[in-house]
Amino acid sequence: MKSVSPAIDVQALCLGFDKPLCTDVTFSLEPGAKVRIEGRSGSGKSTLLRCLLGFVRPLSGQITIFDKPLTPETLGAIRSRMAYVTQEPDLGTGTVVDTMLRPFSYKANTHLRPTDKDIQDRCEQFFLSRELLTQKIATLSGGQKQRIALIIAILLKRDIILLDEPTSALDAISKVAVAEHFYRTDQTVVWVSHDTTAFDKAGHVISLDIACSQEVVL
Amino acid sequence: MNVVQITPFQLSLAYLLLIFPAAVILWYGVGLMKPLLVGAVRMTVQLLLVGLYLQVIFNYNNPWVNLLWLGMMLIVADVSIIRRCGFRLKRFAVPMFCALTAGIVIPLCVFVGLVLWKPNLLDARFVIPIGGMILGNCLRANIVGIGRFYQDIRKDEKLYLQTLAFGATREEATRPFMADAFQAAMAPTIATMATIGLVSLPGMMTGVILGGANPDTAIKYQIAIMLSILCGTAITVFLAVQLTARKSFDCYGVLQKDIFAD
State how far residue A1 is from chain B, nearest Cα, in angstroms: 34
Residue closest to B235 by CA, chosen among B91, B124, B137, B118? B137
Beta strands in chain A (DSSP E): 8-16, 20-29, 34-38, 60-65, 68-69, 82-85, 160-164, 188-192, 204-207, 215-217
As a whole number of angstroms, the distance between CA B62 and CA B68 comes to 10
**Tens digits of residue pLDDT in B218-260:** 888 888 989 999 999 999 999 999 999 998 999 999 999 899 9
DSSP letter assigned to residue A199: T
Q: Looking at beta carbons, which residues of chain A come within 8 Å of B158?
A: 86, 88-90
Residue closest to A68 by CA, chosen among A77, A59, A80? A77
Mark out the alpha helices in B156-214 (DSSP H runs): 157-165, 170-195, 203-210
As a whole number of angstroms, the distance between CA B68 and CA B190 comes to 31
As a whole number of angstroms, the distance between CA B203 and CA B129 comes to 11
Shortest CA distance from B155: residue in chain A = A90
pLDDT at A210: 64
As a whole number of angstroms, the distance between CA A70 and CA A91 comes to 26
**pTM (predicted TM-score):** 0.84
Q: Per CB distance under 8 Å, which residues of A are interface residues toward B?
A: 50, 53-55, 57, 72, 75-76, 79-80, 82-84, 86, 88-92, 102-103, 106-109, 149, 152-153, 156, 162
Strand order in the sheet with A215-217: A68-69, A60-65, A8-16, A20-29, A215-217
* Backbone phi, psi, residue B170, to 5°: -60, -40
Q: Which residue has the higher pLDDT, B17 or A213?
A: B17
Q: Looking at beta carbons, which residues of chain A come within 8 Å of B251?
A: 72, 75
Residue closest to B86 by CA, chosen among B160, B181, B151, B153? B151
- Long-range CB pairs of A14-18, under 8 A, 24+ apart, other chains included: A14/A58, A14/A59, A14/A60, A14/A61, A15/A44, A15/A47, A15/A48, A15/A51, A15/A56, A15/A58, A15/A59, A16/A44, A16/A47, A16/A59
As a whole number of angstroms, the distance between CA A128 and CA A177 comes to 12
State how far residue A136 is from chain B, nearest Cα, in angstroms: 16
Q: Looking at beta carbons, which residues of chain A come within 8 Å of B166?
A: 83-84, 102-103, 106, 109, 152-153, 156
The mean pLDDT of B4-16, rounded to a whole number, is 90
Residues 6 or more apart whose Cβ sits within 8 Å of residue A106: B166, B167, B168, B169, B172
Shortest CA distance from A109: residue in chain B = B167
> Number of CB pairs < 8 Å for A and B?
66
Radius of gyration over every alpha carbon of chain A, rounded to an integer in angstroms = 17
Q: Are the C-beta atoms of residues A165 and A137 closer than 8 Å to each other? A: no
As a whole number of angstroms, the distance between CA A110 and CA A80 comes to 12
Q: pLDDT band for position A7 (50/70/90)?
A: very high
Query: pLDDT at residue B135 above 90?
Result: yes
Q: In the Cβ-directed half-sphere of B180, how many Cα atoms lie within 13 Å?
A: 15
State how far residue A2 is from chain B, nearest Cα, in angstroms: 31
Q: Do B251 and A83 touch (CB under 8 A)?
A: no
As a whole number of angstroms, the distance between CA A98 and CA A101 comes to 5
A15-24, A93-102, A117-126, A206-215, range with the lowest pLDDT = A206-215
pLDDT at A213: 46
**Tens digits of residue pLDDT in A68-126:** 999 999 998 999 999 999 988 898 889 999 999 999 999 999 999 999 999 999 999 98
As a whole number of angstroms, the distance between CA A156 and CA B50 comes to 61
Q: Looking at beta carbons, which residues of chain A come within 8 Å of B249?
A: none
As a whole number of angstroms, the distance between CA B48 and CA B170 comes to 48
